Chains A and B, each alone.
Chain A
Amino acid sequence: MTHPWPVAITGLGCICAAGTNVDACMEALYSGQRAPAEPSRFTSSHPTRYPVFEVTGFSEPEELLRTSALGLHAAQEAIADAGLDQEMLRGLRVGVCVGTTVASAMNNEQFCRDYRAGLDPDLEPINRIMRSNPAAVIAREFGFTGPCQTVVNACASGTDAVGLAASWIRGGICDLVIAGGADELGRITYNGFISLMITDETPCKPFDKNRKGLNLGEGAGMLILESEAVRTMRNQAALSFLLGYGSACDAHHLTAPRPDGEGLRYAIAEALSCCGTKAESIAFVNAHGTGTPDNDRVESRVLADLFPGIPFLSTKGYTGHTLGAAGAIEAVFTVACLQRGIIPGSAGFTTPDPDLGGTPIEECTKIEGQVALSESLAFGGNNSVILLGTRGAA
């Protein structure tokens, strides 16, 4: 059986460079605060010190990867925000669906260095990876017995995890799903993105004429998706609703978006069709907006075509690109903006680029409307879009 859209969102949690909870993040976004800096937790021999967006004031337990600890932190906030406790959760079929890029890879650098040097290194770093599957960590912590899924769709992972979780609710597979994404900063992704020459040596400037690339970030975003039956049973108000989800593959290139944005267009069309939402109902678009020349060109042109005059922004100027967490963090920000009726300016943007389809919002702006779109574009040509807002406003 498949229940119709929409699916209720009853709790939010977030940790990133902008703050260690949702309120702190929104305060930072609205006040325009951002603090990219050289990495403090690892070193690099690159002559250029590329800035990153680190989470400060947070440390992970020794037995877990930082990614999973970040995910757990955000999940705890989301569960509390939804007014849930262990007693309520007992007896419910609770699933966990989490996007990541880092936490599933068997790539501990020190272990590999020692192995390469002909040593027999301690297996603990590998064992830590094996017990740190982000979805399983959350399920284990709370004693959930439902399905676990760690989505590894590169930078669209977080958005896909939220969309797939809604599908589990709609299919009656789960009563409630903790959905989101988590990723940590590290030398491997730092060096990887620099090697692709899509990293900016200064603070990132999404949609700006002088943009040179992304800055990496870290963090986690989590949402509680809940069936109507459970929400009614516990008389819980929804913070927002997931009104649609769409995803499509460019089938074009491993790391570059398709120039005409065809995959993104398909994904947007699918998301809008779920509740029959019209483009003019969209109050704003929380764009992927990484600050790379290719991404911002393709994305802005598609937005100009499909949503002319509708404001869009990128929040990566506040968080950096948090990879597998990005879509989930941005989903949390989108819901929070809808609740507050105001969107922040796109940090880093100053100079319009005539080659792009438009310019993002530059300062805090009141929004009209109750529906917004959040989108992610990823390596592998993945394009994923979720539609969030008030039920019936679509």
Chain B
Amino acid sequence: MRITIKGIGAVGGFGCGVTDLAAALESGLGRVTEMTVPAAQGPLQIPAFRSETERLEGFVPKRTLRRIDHYSKMGLLGAYLALQDGGLLGSDLSRLGVVVASGYGATATTFAFLDSIIGDGDICASPTHFANSVHNAAAANISIMLGAKGPSLTVSQFDMSVPSALLSARQWLAEERVDAVLFGAIDELSDLTGYLWHRQYGTQHPFTISPLDTDQDSSIIGEGAAFLLLTRMDDNRAYCLIDNIDTGSLPEGKLFSPPDDALLLLGADGHRELGTRYRATIPALSRVACYTPIYGSMPAAAAFDIAAGALILQNGLAYPIPGVAGCNMDGLQVPLETTRVCALRLAGRNEYGAVSLSRL
């Protein structure tokens, strides 16, 4: 069953809202800032894509937000923006489903809860941090704020969270359990995730992601939320169609077969090993693009890719690939015009997720 993307709400290192996302894609400029990592040898600065959530106060009174953490705030902002963009803000949301995909959940609050135990003892465990550290806290906050009483689902499948969760979102629409699904992906930066990033990828931290350069590691950690308002196809007022969602594992050595003429939107994010896997998995002469240099590396980036694909299909034109200088593009083509996009996400040894989009 084909479904439509009716609205997009995105908050990330590029800014906030679909206009900011489109502008960043057009210019090819991501806004890399820095975060301080409290490493053993002393504080370290590493590049990062950080998200601001001040615009949420335009939707929810500041007072109401005082106990809501950054993770849920990013989700709430993405959700409100997607509803606004799709023209459903203020509508009856009783038949709205909420689906949230997250690689790692509310990491800062999770660590804050642990801190309360480690620092002050078991008896001082923080109930507020515990309640907000539960993986579905963001989905719950979204449902509470919006009064959305349909089904709610949170999925955490690490890098495959987005395609996996999208599979169930589509089924809700196909089975007519809901009239619309607010589908979003959220991942956040925290001291500990920054530290883990630094430990995993060493002391060299380039300030530009070169996603298809398999000679060096250039990934930059990101955070943000990308939300999509999904509906069954009812009219032509939508960005694009979602034709197919496929996820699982590819047999060793098997090439991925993209839909005919589709622009492959690669989730390559500057991880050398992953970049090598993309090159080994996609057929020669594939038409490719990659926009992770705009929003950074995180599991939720897969939803930003879908949002970028939707914008491409609305315009019929691909954006230039940022960070393409210095990358090894032999055998791949960068097209301009396209009517089909396939957002391809690879992870681990053989996991894949492919979301096929087409123009209305």
Contacts and interface: CB of A to CB of B under 8 A. Distances in A.
Interface of A: 1-2, 44-47, 93, 95, 101, 104-107, 109, 112-113, 115-116, 118-120, 123, 126, 130, 133, 135-136, 139, 144-154, 160, 164, 167-168, 170-171, 173, 187-188, 191-197, 247-255, 262-263, 266, 270, 378-382
B175 A249 contact: no
B89 interface: no
30 contacts: A1-B1, A44-B122, A101-B135, A104-B105, A104-B135, A105-B110, A106-B196, A107-B133, A109-B114, A112-B114, A112-B115, A116-B118, A120-B39, A135-B157, A144-B248, A148-B164, A149-B167, A152-B135, A154-B134, A154-B136, A164-B171, A167-B168, A170-B171, A171-B174, A171-B175, A187-B122, A188-B117, A251-B147, A254-B131, A380-B137
Contacts of A136: 157-158, 348, 351
B192 interface: yes
Interface in B174-221: 174-175, 177, 192-193, 195-196, 199-200
B116 to A, nearest CB: 8
Interface stretch (B5-13, B148-156, B230-238, B335-343): B148-156
Interface string B105-140: 101001101110111011101110011111111011
B40 interface: yes
B133 A105 contact: yes
Contacts of A194: 122, 125
Contacts of B247: 147-148
B249 interface: yes
Contact of A150 (B122, B157, B250, B351): B157
B141 interface: yes
A113 B158 CA distance: 24
B25 interface: no
A191 B117 contact: yes
Given A145-B249, A247-B151, 14 more contacts: A46-B123, A95-B248, A105-B110, A105-B135, A118-B40, A120-B39, A139-B249, A146-B248, A152-B156, A194-B122, A247-B152, A251-B146, A254-B137, A270-B177
Contacts of B278: none
4 A-B pairs closest in CB distance: A380-B140, A152-B135, A192-B130, A104-B156
Nearest to B114: A112
Contacts of A148: 157, 160, 164, 247-248, 351
B171 A153 contact: no
A262 B149 contact: yes
A310 B350 CA distance: 49
Contacts of A187: 117, 122
Q: Size range of the interface on B?
A: 35 or more
Contacts of A193: 130
Contacts of B156: 104, 133, 150, 152
B246 to A, nearest CB: 8
Given A148-B157, A171-B171, A381-B140, A109 B118 contact: yes
Contacts of B137: 254, 379-380
Nearest to A127: B200
Contacts of B348: 136
Contacts of B358: none
B143 interface: yes
B134 A379 contact: yes
Contact of B196 (A1, A126, A248): A126
Contacts of B107: 106
Contacts of A45: 121-123
A119 B125 contact: no
Contacts of A153: 136, 152-154
A112 B137 CA distance: 22
Contacts of A167: 168, 171-172, 175
Interface string B306-349: 00000000000000000000000000000000000000000010
Contact of A164 (B130, B136, B149, B168): B168
B136 A195 contact: no
B160 A382 contact: no
Contact of B125 (A112, A192, A378): A192
A149 B113 contact: no
A85 to B, nearest CB: 20
A127 to B, nearest CB: 9
B175 A2 contact: yes
B139 A380 contact: yes
Nearest to A171: B171
Given A249-B150, A381-B144, A151 B130 contact: no
A107 to B, nearest CB: 5
Contacts of B111: 107, 112
Contacts of B110: 105-107
Nearest to A258: B149
A145 B343 CA distance: 19
Most B CB within 10 A of own CB, among A133, A147, A193, A382: A147
A118 B249 CA distance: 39
Interface string B32-60: 00000001100000000000000000000
Nearest to A123: B199
Given A120-B199, A382-B152, A46 B135 contact: no
Nearest to B157: A150
Nearest to A323: B134
B199 A248 contact: no
B141 A192 contact: no
B308 to A, nearest CB: 23
B117 A249 contact: no
Given A148-B248, A263-B149, A252 B134 contact: no
Contacts of A135: 157
B251 interface: yes
A249 B136 CA distance: 12
B98 interface: yes
B167 A253 contact: no
B169 to A, nearest CB: 10
Contact of B131 (A160, A164, A196): A196
B227 interface: no
Contacts of B144: 251-254, 381
B165 interface: yes
Contacts of B114: 107, 109, 112, 188
A105 B154 CA distance: 13
A151 B39 CA distance: 33
B80 interface: no
Contacts of A152: 105, 135-136, 154-156
Contacts of B130: 191-193, 195-196
